[in-house]
Amino acid sequence: MTSDQQFFSLTYSKYTILIISIFLVLLAIENVDAIVARFLAQFNTSTAGMTLFIIISIGYILGQFLLLRFMNSSSHTIKVRSSLISNLHKAVSIVQSVLVGNIILLIAQMALFSRYSILSLVLVAYVTNFFTAGLLAVFALRFFSWYRNGNHSLGILLYALAFIILATSEVFAGIGSGYLLWQKDDIITPASEAHFRSFPEGSLLDIFFSSYSYVDYSSFLLTLVASALLLYHYSKKARTPKMIIIIALPILGYTATILDALNIYDTDTNPDLFYYYIFQILAAISGGALFAFSFWFISKKLPESPVKTFLKIAALGFVILYLSNHIDVNSGPYPPYGINALSLLPLSSYFVLFGLYSSALSLSQDITLRNHLRSMARNDQNLLSSIGTAQMENEVKRAVGELKGVADVEEKELAEKTGIETPIAENEVEDYLKQVIEEVARSRKK
């Protein structure tokens, strides 16, 4: 066990949850301030506002360091056997280091000169959105490749489509943010006004962002359905298949974020925008929390296994993703509230993608093992000929012992290739064997 693994195995229940909770609360506070920054200019530029920004920045730096350590310990065995995951992990670590350096430089500018360069915001807008788009594209291609093999479920295809849509969206977001930021002054001071500029009417960016809510909602629904298919399998293993309905909960939080797009709330005429913006960002955060709850709940029902960790990684990733992907710094506030949350976009995306990728790979191995067991059981003439006789129970016990040995050998071979263990317990083999017997018995009756 590595030092990182020892650290998290010993302290996860006591300290890590508390630290991450404080970290998430600080990001939530920054999200709220960033969305209404133009209403809070007097507070933000005060000593209290600057102090709060620095505290959030320190929390971001420490929090992302802990998250990287956690990911490093959790993905160790997979990285050893997968050059893709190993290289992506290195790339994410480098990008996050660059973004941390940018935050430190930005704080130094404000502390020494009471101003900062717009280049700091442009860097974050380009790096976070374009790198995240690259991550999404890489995993989308991997999922498409899996689906073409014909051995994977519809959920794999839906994930791939969702990732492609999100990747396209991130590219446009990066271009759009860069364009809007370049329209602002090169130097931002406490006297600078925090306001959003608009795209040229009729331009490609204007057309895209006028329908952005629908594009985003389509990727959300695809991810939701794909996650339901993924979690349904694990909920059956946890013997709680009816609880999969909890995956529908994120719809409540997400729909509340697009009331203006649904023409339920008019942001052009309503005077209470301050409270509406706060409600909107809190609704977005709740959507991520509900998504995370679905994965966390199913993981808690599973016995200790690698997939339990993968589902928790995806859960944590969804919370941070909804804190970092529904915010921007295009208004150029002073100090730039929102930059810490946005700087976590690459890492949060990697958490979600790695969690889903590893869970789907584990599921694929589980299905492969079970299909092989099914084939062997149906070819076991001694077992099938005993159906309905007094000797059936003895034959079942004999077959379970043989099949469990075969499953253990194949599981070990798959684990050597991928770094993911998918053990099948003896009671699972017996349950699966009885399902095959019931199928054969029904077919004989027909």
Q: What is the pLDDT of residue 102?
A: 96
d(CA 222, CA 211): 17
Q: What is the pLDDT of residue 8?
A: 43
**Most confident stretch, 133-142, 245-254, 299-308, 317-326:** 133-142
Q: Which two tokens stand for residue 242?
A: 């009816």
The percent of residues above 70 in pLDDT, for the chain, comes to 70
Give the model confidence (pLDDT) of 396-446 as tens digits. 566 656 666 665 665 565 555 555 666 566 666 666 666 666 666 666 565
pTM of the model: 0.81
Query: b/e per residue, 198-218, with b = 16+ CB within 10 A?
Result: ebeeeeebeebbeebeebbbe
Tell me if 288 sits within 8 A of 276, measured CB to CB: no
d(CA 321, CA 353): 11
For the stretch 139-145, contacts whose Cβ atoms lie closer than 8 Å and that sit 24 or more positions apart, written own/partner, are: 139/163, 139/353, 139/356, 139/357, 140/164, 140/167, 142/84, 142/357, 143/357, 143/360
- Work out the number of other CB atoms within 10 angstroms of the CB of residue 224: 19
pLDDT at position 121 over 70: yes
Average pLDDT over residues 226-234: 81
- Work out the number of other CB atoms within 10 angstroms of the CB of residue 171: 17
Give the model confidence (pLDDT) of 319-338 as tens digits. 999 889 888 888 889 999 99
Contacts of 38 (CB under 8 A, 6+ apart): 193, 194, 195, 331, 333
- How open is the CA angle 343-349-353, to the nearest 5 degrees? 165
Beta strand segments in 120-270, E? 187-188
Tell me if 64 sits within 8 A of 97, measured CB to CB: no
Q: Which two tokens stand for residue 47?
A: 């000593």
The percent of residues above 90 in pLDDT, for the chain, comes to 28
Question: What's the pLDDT band for 82 if we cut at 50, 70, 90?
Answer: confident
Average pLDDT over residues 7-22: 62
Give the model confidence (pLDDT) of 32-44 as tens digits. 888 888 888 899 9
Average pLDDT over residues 353-362: 85
> What is the distance, to the nearest Å, from the Cα of residue 441 to the centroid of all Cα atoms in its chain?
43
Ordered by start, the domain boundaries in the chain are: 3-366, 379-445
Average pLDDT over residues 354-382: 70
